[in-house]
Structure 1
Amino acid sequence: MTADRSNTSRWAHVAERLPVHLEDLSGPAAGTVELPLHLTWSGLRSFDIGDEKLLLGLYRIVLTNGLRDDLIGYLNAELLVRHWPRLRIAVGKPVRTCWEQRFPELVAAVAA
């Protein structure tokens, strides 16, 4: 017999990682960020935030693999909102859905 999971979101593990407020994202807005091995175990680890391609790669990695402390420490709320229209495509449906349900300002950024 299977457990009834109708009240449990299949993406609860993603939602549990989210910050309480978007403003909690206090990551750098400029400079270079070096991610730890638990986020980038192979490939590029250093990202120049001034380079949009590298910024999008950094944010995709952190949004997809990061724990709450990673999200808060590496993501910047203003940059996330500004780049959300492109990021939302790169992160996949579970991440996109959870972030947009929690933070309506991201949905507004897409509509703008």
Structure 2
Amino acid sequence: MAATPSVPELRRTRFARRLPVTLSELAGPAHGHVDLPLHLAWSGLTRFDLDQPRLRMSYYRIVLAEGQHDDLVRYLNHERLTAMWPVLRTLISRDIRDVWENAHAELKPGARAAA
């Protein structure tokens, strides 16, 4: 009989299923105002100015935590995500961080220095 997966394993599997295959799939906006749908921004702000660093960070945290695959590729921007990742990774859950870094080596700490 197979062992029952732990709660952290189940959470990580849920996040891993949503991931894009490559970061280049992330074709979301880099600037301007974006209105997130209620299935993503169900509590608090729904409109974000991506040119404001704090609002941009909140926007990325919400999309990473709540977004399905189609949301991730629609609302996240590859260049913005990789530029923000060193700080963003400290503001998101360990499960999300680990899943993204395991799937996309360029997000792992030290990856930019090695490149």
- TM (norm. structure 2) is 0.87
Hey, what's the Cα distance between the residues in 2 that align with 1:105 and 1:68? 19
- Which runs of no fewer than 5 residues in structure 2 stay unpaired? none
Contact kept in structure 2, 1:25 and 1:73, CA below 8 Å: yes
Amino acid at match of 1:4: A
- Tell me how many residue pairs correspond in the alignment: 109
Structure 2 equivalent of residue 76 of structure 1:
77
Contact kept in structure 2, 1:25 and 1:75, CA below 8 Å: yes
Structure 1 stretches of at least 4 aligned residues deviating more than 2 Å after TM superposition: 109-112
Give the match's secondary structure for 2:90. Answer: helix
Instruction: Find out whether 1:27 has 2:28 as its counterpart.
Output: yes
RMSD: 1.9
Identity %: 47
- TM (norm. structure 1) is 0.89
Kindly provide the CA deviation profile for residues 58-98 of structure 1, in whole angstroms up to 9, marking residues without a partner as x.
00000011000010000000000000011111111000000
Instruction: Find out whether 1:4 has 2:3 as its counterpart.
Output: yes
- Which residues in structure 2 correspond to 1:40-55 (within 5 Å)? 40-55=41-56
Distance 1:104 1:53, change over 3 A: same
